Amino acid sequence: MMHDFGVSSTHTVILDLPLSLDPLNLAKNRPVVAYDPTSRSRFGVFPRYKPDSVRWFETRSCCIFHTANTWDSKAINPITGLKETTAINMLACRLTSASLVYNAGNLAAPVPVHKIPSDQQEEEQCRLYYYQFSLSPLSPSANPTSSGYENVITHQWALSAIPFEFPSLRDSTSMYAAKHIYGCSVSDSSFGAALGRAVKIDSLVKLDVEALIDRGKRHSPIQISGCVDTRTVSDVLASNDPKDPIKIFKMPANWYAQEPRFVPRKGGVSEDDGWLLSYVFDESQLGPDGECKPTAKSELWIIDARTMSDVVAKVQLPQRVPYGLHGNWFSEDDVKNQRPIESARSLPSTKGLVENNTPTWKMWMGARGIVEKFLA
C-alpha cells in the first residue's frame, strides 16, 4: 500500500511496503489489514518518463505515509563533460511498524508469524529519515544484478530522535535541496502509538536538514537504526544555542496544533523568512465527558518561522476545526492567476442509471447483491 511518493526534478520514487489492505480478505476470514515485519520495504526509482527503467532499492521493513522532499545530486561526467544525475535524495517520515493503522481501526496488531531477527528489532518510533539512492553503475567488485546495476542506498538514517510527522516546506524549495523542513511532534508519546487515534500535537518543529545531513555524512550514524541528533524534545527545548539545527515551538498547556503550512514573507531574505500557519484548539472547552461543546472554537495562529517562538497573530474562528484537517496556502497572486477551465465532462448519475433500468445496471446490481449476501 502506498500513501505518498517522492518526486525530484528528474526522477520519481515509489514505495513498495509490506503493508496491504485487501477488503476481499473479509470473505476469507482474514484481517483486512496485513503487515509483515519480517519482509522488506522497497523504493522504486525511475526517470520521470521511463518507468520501465525502474531500479529497486531494498531495506528493512517499515511504513512511510508522508515524504517531505526529494531532490537530485548531480556531478560532471569526466568523459562526456556533461552534468548527470548521480543520486536521488529523499526525506520521509519512517515508522518502525504499522501500529498506527491497527489503532485507527481499533484492532490489535497481530503477532508476527515469523520471529524478527534481534538485529532488526527497533523501538516504536516515527522519525524524519534521510535516504540517498545511488545511481552509479555497477562496480567490478560488486555482485551483478539483473539490471546490470548495484542498487545501493548510500545513506539511510534518522536526522533527529524526536517524533516527527506531517512534514512540509517552503513550496519554492520543493524538489531542491531545501534547508528547512517543518512538521509536528509530540512531547510525551510517539506517533506510532498516537497517530491512529486523535493525535494531539503539542509541538511544531523546524529542522535545519541541510546542517543535519551534512553532520550525518561527516559522522555517519549506523545505517537504518542510527540517528544524527539523539536529543529528546525536552533536551531541544532546553537549548539556548541560536544556531541549533532543531527549533521547537511548544504549545501552551491544553492547547494543541495541527499540520503547519509555511507562508513566505514578500521580499524575504532567507528561506525561513516567513510564517507558519496552524489551526489550534484549547481543550479547556471540552465538557466533563471529554466531548466538544457546541460553542467551542478553534483559532488560527501565525508563528514567526525564523524564531519559532513568537506568535505574531491569532485569529479566532467561528467554530472548532477537527483534529487532522489538512490545509494549504494560496497567495493573492495564485488566486488571480488561476487558469480558466477549458472544458468539463460528467458521468451519468446513479439515479439516471436506475431510471433507465439498463441491462448493464441490472447485471451489476445482481452481482453486487450476491457478494453482499456472501459477506453477510
Write the DSSP assignment of 291-343 as a string of letters: PBPTT---EEEEEETTTSS-EEEEEE-SS---TT-------HHHHHTPPPP--
180 is in an annotated binding site: no
Question: Which letter does DSSP use for residue 89 in this model?
Answer: E
At 275, list the grid cell.
510564517
Phi, psi dihedrals of residue 312, rounded to the nearest 5°: -85, -20
| Cα(363)–Cα(353) distance, integer angstroms | 12
Q: Which distant-in-sequence residues (6+ apart) come within 8 Å of 299 by Cβ?
A: 279, 280, 281, 282, 314, 315, 316, 317
Question: Which letter does DSSP use for residue 357 in this model?
Answer: T
114 is in an annotated binding site: no
| Cα(129)–Cα(164) distance, integer angstroms | 10
* Residues 82, 76 contacting (CB under 8 angstroms): yes
Annotated binding site: 3, 66, 326
Mark the binding-site residues for Fe cation, compressed into ranges. Answer: 3, 66, 326
